[in-house]
Chains A and B, each alone.
Chain A
Amino acid sequence: MRNDEVLVKVEGVSKKFCKSLKRSLWYGAGDISRSVLGLKNPEKLRKDEFWAVKDVSFEVRRGECLGLIGHNGAGKSTLLKMLNGLIRPDEGRIEMKGKVGALIELGAGFNPVLTGRENVYNNGAVLGFSKAEIDRKFDEIVAFAEMEEFIDTPVQNYSSGMKVRLGFAVASQMEPDVLIIDEVLAVGDLGFKIKCFNEIYRLIENAAVILVSHSMPQVAQVCRTGLVLKQGKINFGPGKVSNAIINYFGIFENNGLNIEGNRRGEIRNFKFGNNDTSVELDISKNQNQPEIILENCQNVFFETSVIIEPSVENFSLIISITDIDQKVVAQVTPPERMFTNLTKMMVVEAKVNSLMLNTGNYSISVHIYNKSNAVDRGEILIGIRNILKFTVKKQKFVGAAPILYESRWKEC
């Protein structure tokens, strides 16, 4: 087997969907009759129809993993259904080579009143295994699912986690040339999730993989190439997965600032940067997130201009840094100090010697609160999420963790 053969070839694929159920059924009846009679179906959009997928092309080679990303309703699942042969494209052509496996629904064919044992055979048969194959792999499946004790109990008495575990254990026995994965990736509790991941890595080593997920760390971890769909069309790619993820987050941007809190304070201005470069946002004038690229994270400053209502005596603030997944990765906050409210515009500056952040995209949120005591964070007077975003560019590629400690190394 050549290692770089193209196993999935998608050329200009489009699919129509209908917004109204009544019309959809009627069009369906018409399409079926026309197809049976060998007549052409209308190519143009009919009333209430729209392109769920439009003009999508890509290729996936053996050993390659393509991450398919996009917001809800972007057409990802529709595209997967076409790749899997469940529905036909309205335009274009799909070529799949070899055995196609899908990790889309775990435990298909399970019947709740039957035992786990019987259902392993049912599920296996739906996935295309012969009885002899399941006989051979049965012990392995049960051991993987850690279900030895309950394998002869009806599946309706299983917890939902146990059901998907058994389903995953059967599905992971596939040895596909093309693997389609939709969201399910890892199921169960933490321990089982790790097992799932190891199993998935084993499966994708030798297959062409198409993965749909909303979890960007997962996509970044598993895929090398990415494709971003937006309203059925390709918004980016196929290209490097890191660029695809940046593009995906770009879709959500410029929605205005996200302001929260009881509004007893007001953030007027926010400034961020280092000695070389900085960016400033005047909230009253601009509601869009400005952007800055930092090539060095030394001597960084955050400057917040605030006005607080006279009824508030003192206040403190938290500046948090989130990654592209909106996960908080770092926080800058005054250790004990409270600021006394001077009831006029105050400028508060925080200086950080080194941000220690890895290459990537981040955004900053600011929250101002009145601290009632040392434990309680108090009320949020005003907070702005994603007030601005910045990109850290380090010279070399330095792994996937968000924090990069500065360290001195020597041979001992």
Chain B
Amino acid sequence: MKTTIYSPQNNYVLSTLVREIFLGFKEGRELAYRLFIRDLRAGYKRSFLGIFWLFIPPFFTAGIWIFLNDQQVVSIQGAPMDYAAFTLCGTILWSFFAEALNKPIQRYQSAMGMMSKLNFPRESLVLAAVYDQLFSLILKLIVLVPILWILGYPPNLNWLIGFLGIFGLLIAGISIGLMLSPIGLLYGDIGKALPMILPFVMYLSPVIYPLRDGGKLAILQGINPVTPFLEMARSSLGGYEFTLWQPLLIWTGVLVGLLLFSLLVVKIAMPMIVERSGS
């Protein structure tokens, strides 16, 4: 018979924690799927435009930039592909990352009432966040692929490499989001700051303009984990050369480490969060 032992918060054994996380993912698969389906069905049932809300924001941002670029208000030179396709790819990929970053906190917050009453595998919420993002990706591709085709970028096998980049964006978003969750769940400040900071970071990243060779933006590009993955995805979609192999490898390593570490942190922190912010 399974024996569970609860002891004070500082008596953790790493191997036990890792095993519990692994089991949590295993046992939480079905719940994660249910939660995903539940919120998908419920979320758009009461809105007239329904799932279109998932496409509208990136189109909006991309539209503004295409317009401004057309009118020569701002002029962005040297895009390695058609500027409209370039910004559309950029903003859609960025919004995918930004959503992924927000998802863990949102998932935890909406389940806080349940977490303070019932014991279910908490990892299912992480998994549900991943499902949410995979679904959102499919919707984004449904929009992006035909437009790229029209603009002269037909689908090809190279795009498969692009998916690796998208996967990297997902891991980056989820692990940064997980890392922010413990503090973000205790204090509302993170939730308030993110919508303000994320667009700002977007303009500091090569989303609506191409990679820089020099200057301050180039330095920021170097310390930005989103840059290599976004570029990898976009370059294979747009058929131009990808040059950031080295940062890509470094950031992949860092992010995998961050993902594992953030899962551990959340595991340790969750009982303390439930104790202090659960009802």
Contacts and interface: CB of A to CB of B under 8 A. Distances in A.
B258 to A, nearest CB: 13
A82 B4 CA distance: 12
Interface string A113-129: 11000100110011110
Interface residues of B, number: 46
Interface in B163-215: 182-183, 186-187
Given A86-B115, A114-B42, A128-B120, A95 B265 contact: no
Interface in A74-113: 81-100, 102, 104-105, 108-109, 111-113
Contact of B119 (A24, A31, A85, A114): A85
Interface string B55-92: 00000000000000000000000000000000000000
Contacts of A177: 1
A96 B42 contact: no
Contact of B38 (A83, A108, A114): A114
Interface stretch (A34-42, A274-282, A301-309): A34-42
Most buried by B among A29, A88, A96: A88
Interface in B233-279: 264-265, 268-269, 271-278
Given A35-B10, A41-B9, A95-B3, A100 B119 contact: yes
Contacts of A131: 30, 34
A96 to B, nearest CB: 5
B268 A36 contact: yes
Given A86-B116, A104-B118, A114-B41, A36 B2 contact: no
Contact of A104 (B1, B12, B117, B183): B117
Nearest to B269: A32
Given A29-B186, A95-B4, A86 B272 contact: no
Given A105-B118, A109-B38, A122-B38, A25 B3 contact: no
Interface residues of A, number: 54
B265 A85 contact: no
B26 interface: no
B118 A24 contact: no
A198 B168 CA distance: 54
A94 B5 contact: yes
A36 B42 CA distance: 36
B interface: dominant SS: helix
A113 B46 contact: yes
A130 interface: yes
B8 A108 contact: no
B105 interface: no
Contacts of B35: 109, 122, 125
B108 to A, nearest CB: 14
A28 interface: yes
Nearest to A133: B30
A22 to B, nearest CB: 10
Interface string B102-133: 00000000000111111110000000000000
A75 to B, nearest CB: 13
Given A24-B276, A34-B10, A97 B3 contact: yes
A53 to B, nearest CB: 12
Contacts of A91: 8
B1 A97 contact: yes
A89 B6 contact: yes
A86 B38 CA distance: 24
B8 A125 contact: no
B118 A25 contact: no
A126 B274 contact: no
A94 B269 contact: no
Interface string A247-268: 0000000000000000000000
B8 A113 contact: no
A34 B11 CA distance: 12
Contact of A90 (B8, B27, B41, B116): B8
Contacts of A126: 31, 34, 114, 118, 120
B187 A35 contact: no
Contact of B273 (A28, A93, A95): A28
Contact of A86 (B3, B5, B187, B274): B274
A31 B272 CA distance: 8
Nearest to A93: B7
Contacts of A99: 2
Contacts of A118: 38, 41
B94 to A, nearest CB: 30
Which 10 residue pairs across A and B have the least CB separation, nearest first? A125-B34, A105-B117, A87-B275, A94-B6, A28-B276, A125-B31, A32-B269, A111-B42, A88-B271, A96-B4
24 contacts: A18-B276, A25-B186, A28-B276, A29-B183, A32-B183, A32-B186, A35-B269, A36-B264, A38-B10, A39-B10, A40-B10, A83-B6, A94-B5, A96-B6, A97-B2, A98-B1, A109-B114, A118-B38, A122-B34, A125-B35, A126-B34, A126-B114, A126-B118, A130-B30
Given A29-B186, A97-B1, A128-B120, 8 more contacts: A29-B182, A32-B265, A36-B264, A86-B118, A86-B274, A111-B38, A113-B42, A125-B34
